[in-house]
Amino acid sequence: MNLYKYVSEKINEKLGMTVNLESPRNREFGDFATNAAMVMAKNAGKNPRELAGDIANQLRELDFVADASVAGPGFINIKLRNNFIWKNATAPKQIAAQKPMVIDLDYGAYNVAKSLHIGHLRTSIVGDTFNRTAKFIGHKTFSWNHIGDWGKPMGLIIAWIERLHPELPYFSDNFDPNMPVDYEIDTVELNTYYPSASKLAKEDADFQARAQEIKAKFQDGHAGYFALYEKFLAISLAAMNNTVKRLNILPFDYDLGERNAAQYLDDVEKILRAKNMIYESDGALVINVRRDDDTAPMPPYMWRDSRGADTYDSTDLAAVFCRKKKDNPDKIIYFTDLRQSLHFEQLFRAADMSGIYPYEKMEHIGYGTINGSDGKPFKTRDGNAAGLDDILDLATVAVRERVAESGKSLDDETINSIALAAVKFNDLLHDVRSDYIFDPKSITSFEGRTGPYILYTAVRLNSILKKADAQTTEPATYELTADERNLLIQIMDFERTVISAFDNRATDLIANYAYDLCQLINTFYHNCPIMRDDVDETVKAGRLHIVRVARDTLATAIDLMGLKVPSEM
Ligand code: ARG
């Protein structure tokens, strides 16, 4: 149940007005509090404490209210009835959205022939949790892995392979696609091609020009370049799939990126031309996306570069056109690095001005940077920018050390799940928009606001339930302790948390909720014995019921975060 919503609706109904309701963290004085009397008294020129007394009397008539009392200058504290809590604290269920939407989510967006970098970590983790959250509350989503499989890097890589193996037939304009070619790309080496080529292109103008020429011809359908491209594309797609698995994120609904979008460029260009939106500037074709009230610089949107090639900009606009056609979404949401904010502002304007898709239905969630302890973008020990795998590997090493220190022995699969949880939970915990410092040691601690702590709590609940399998006594209501009440009330707050995580595009609310839930679970576990012989049968059955509901709630939160719970820890 959505406790907050339920209680506030009932109170508003009873009092015939909308009151401001708070649920304090410390529930010693009440489970909810309102300053309604103080607000009303001010408006009506009455004594707030007197008015609060009248309101408290009315609230006491509500069937879920155990007590309503006046405090201080006119606050009202409301305490819920135990049996109301007991009855309504149930395992979370999929929610039916009041206004279900179709939402296209653009995240992941990996690049062909470029190993995944640290930035891809956040888009994957946050995008995936947002996707799961949207589905959970009843929206229809389509996840788009908008692969970088068309632009400048393709030209650079083909040019690089041409340098390494000029004898290969791919570079001829008369390439025959039916002729078998005896050439396999080395998977590990492939990752070095792009950095090497882009370095060379900066130093060597001829090579740069060659790569650009190749890119333009490639986009025009050069058969040889295309055959070579298909080879490294296959390797990259396999690598992306491995990453999706390693990160335990949902498979994408569409692995369609720039190349797919490029098919729609002609359609889009017709629209733009009909609206007179394209003009020439320094040999390139651009779109003016400035507005009269702009105060910040707003450069034109690049439709075609000076060599006539498609661009990141043009394929992104074509992708919007494609999505509108395929999914007809109510919203398109992009998850990328904050540094792409200007690009998306331009894209949204171009889509809106051309009538392809309205500005207000598009959103860019820009995330901050993952830094090292020096506050600069995280680097590996050898001083290179960290890749996505480096981050996971570092976390795995840290988990392994901790486990060894504690004298436990855990299998590799368990270690990997813990490391993944450490990285993902820590990422989700932070406001997406902010930078954070990546410290493998602290995120892998089994205590505190960490992924391992969350998993550890889940493992503990599972093991209690496993031992209690034979328990048959039907749970019935009983006198709840403060720890039990606090836990159950937190459970009743799950639905509201998930909805507000979605509404505010704030997946950190889910991570923080999970942590608070675990804290309450562990306090309950510590203070409320379950399987001990001196525990009364009714209490035992009741507490097992609480464990079950807590476990299901935590498991649902864990699932939204895409973590895997090991069988032991
Ligand atoms: N491939 C790009 C990168 O790695 C991100 C693409 C984001 N999505 C988009 N529709 N532009 O930085």
Instruction: Give distance in angstroms: CA of 446 to centre of ligand 1.
Output: 35
- Note the pLDDT of residue 143: 98
Work out which ligand 1 atom sits closest to the CA atom of 316.
Answer: 10
- pLDDT band of 384, cuts 50, 70, 90: confident
pLDDT at 340: 97
Report CA(147)–ligand 1 centroid distance (Å): 7
28 φ, ψ to 5°? -55, -40
Q: How far is the CA of 293 from the centre of ligand 1 (A)?
A: 28
Residue extent(s) of CATH 3.30.1360.70 domains in the chain? 3-80
pLDDT score recorded for residue 14:
94
Least confident of 113-122, 413-422, 484-493, 557-566: 113-122
Pocket, ligand 1, Cβ cutoff 6 A: 106, 109, 111, 146, 148, 316, 319, 334, 336
* Distance from residue 106's CA to the centre of ligand 1 (Å): 8
Distance separating alpha carbons of residues 294 and 495, to the nearest angstrom: 40
Q: How far is CA 435 from CA 431, 438, 448, 535, 537, in A?
A: 8, 10, 20, 49, 51
93 Cβ contact list (under 8 Å, min separation 6):
none
Pocket probe mutation, ligand 1, options 112, 144, 146, 260, max atoms within 8 Å of Cβ: 146
* Residue whose CA lies nearest to ligand 1 atom number 2: 109
CA of 109 to the centre of ligand 1 (A): 5
Beta bridge pairs of residue 111: 148
> Does the pLDDT value for residue 435 go beyond 80?
yes
**Average confidence (pLDDT) over 50-61:** 95
Q: What length does the chain have?
A: 569
Give CATH for domain 388-560: 1.10.730.10
Residue 12 to residue 128: CA distance in whole angstroms: 37
CB 241 within 8 A of CB 250: no
Q: In whole angstroms, give the CA distance from residue 555 to residue 547.
A: 12
Top pLDDT among 216 and 552 is at 552
Cα dihedral 512, 518, 521, 526 sign: negative
Q: Lowest-pLDDT range, 48-52, 166-170, 383-387?
A: 383-387
What pLDDT shows up at residue 119? Answer: 87
Pocket residue to mutate for ligand 1, from 118, 144, 194, 336, most atoms within 8 A of Cβ = 336
Atom of ligand 1 nearest to the CA of 117: 4
Mean pLDDT across 329-344? 97
Task: Give the closest residue (by CA) to ligand 1 atom 6.
Answer: 109
Nearest to 384 by CA among 115, 112, 113, 109: 115
* DSSP secondary structure string for all residues of 321-339: HHHHHHH--SEEEEEEEGG
Q: Which atom of ligand 1 is nearest to the CA of 147?
A: 1
pLDDT band at 42 (very low <50, low <70, confident <90, very high): confident
Q: Where along the chain do the CATH 1.10.730.10 domains lie? A: 388-560
Cβ-based neighbours of 218, under 8 Å, separated by 6 or more: 154, 155, 158, 225, 226, 229
> Rounded CA gap, 100 and 381, in Å?
47
Question: How far apart, in whole angstroms, are the C-alpha atoms of residue 382 and residue 374?
Answer: 15
What the block records as the tokens of 265 is 């460029």
CA-nearest of 387, 384, 396 to 451 is: 396
**How far apart are the CA of 117 and the centre of ligand 1, in A?**
12
- H runs (alpha helix) in 45-113: 48-60, 82-88
Q: Which CATH class is domain 3-80?
A: alpha beta
User: Quick one: which atom of ligand 1 is closest to the CA of 114?
Assistant: 4
Residue 434 Cα distances to 65, 77, 96, 105, 369, angstroms: 41, 36, 31, 21, 7
Q: Whose CA is nearest to atom 4 of ligand 1?
A: 110
Residue 480's identity, in one-letter code, is: L
What pTM does this model have? 0.95
Please check the confidence at residue 484 and state whether its pLDDT lies above 70: yes
Q: How far is CA 238 from CA 25, 104, 165, 290, 341, in A?
A: 47, 24, 24, 41, 30
What CA–CA distances, in Å, run from 60 to 87, 402, 493? 19, 53, 22
Least confident of 20-34, 132-146, 266-280, 504-518: 20-34
Nearest ligand 1 atom to alpha carbon 319: 10
Residues 2-16 pLDDT 10s: 999 999 999 999 999
Q: Nearest C-alpha to atom 5 of ligand 1 is from which residue? A: 109
Distance CA 396, CA 93 (A): 33
Tell me how far apart the terminal alpha carbons of the chain are, to the nearest angstrom.
31
Q: What DSSP string describes 94-120? A: PPPPSS--EEEEE----BTTS--BTHH
Task: Collect all residues with Cβ–Cβ distance below 8 Å to 28 and sequence separation of at least 6.
Answer: none
Atom nearest to 337 CA in ligand 1: 12
Higher pLDDT pick, 317 / 216 = 317
Report the pLDDT value the prediction gives residue 381, as an integer from 0 to 100. Answer: 82
> What is the DSSP track for 216-284?
HHHHTT-HHHHHHHHHHHHHHHHHHHHHHHHTT-PPPSB---HHHHHTTHHHHHHHHHHTT-EEEETTE
* Atom 7 of ligand 1, nearest CA residue: 109
Please tell me the residue having the least CA distance from ligand 1 atom 11: 316
| Between 115 and 493, the higher pLDDT residue | 493
Ligand 1 centroid to Cα of residue 261, in Å, is 13
Q: How far is the CA of 424 from the centre of ligand 1 (A)?
A: 20
Answer yes or no: is pLDDT of 490 > 80: yes
CB 367 within 8 A of CB 107: no
Atom of ligand 1 nearest to the CA of 111: 1
Nearest ligand 1 atom, CA 312: 11
Q: Give distance in angstroms: CA of 148 to centre of ligand 1.
A: 7
Q: What is the model's pLDDT at position 471?
A: 64
Cα–Cα distance measured from residue 93 to residue 217, given in angstroms and rounded to the nearest whole number: 53
> Which stretch, 70-74, 148-152, 333-337, has highest mean pLDDT?
333-337
Query: Above 70 in pLDDT, residue 470?
Result: no
Give the integer Cα–Cα distance in Å for 217 and 309.
Answer: 9
- In the 8-state DSSP scheme, what is residue 466? H
Structure tokens at 261: 């979008």
Which pLDDT does position 354 carry in this prediction? 97
126 Cα–ligand 1 center, Å: 15
pLDDT tens across 96-114, in order?
988 999 999 999 999 998 8
Ligand 1 midpoint to CA 207 (Å): 25
In this predicted structure, the answer to whether residue 550 has a pLDDT above a threshold of 90 is: yes
Of 27, 126, 112, the closest CA to residue 364 belongs to 126
Residue 474 pLDDT grade (very low, low, confident, very high; cuts 50, 70, 90): confident
Assess contact for 105 and 364: CB atoms under 8 A. no
Helices (H) and strands (E) in the chain, counts: 21, 13
Please give the distance, rounded to the nearest whole angstrom, from the Cα atom of residue 258 to the centre of ligand 1: 9
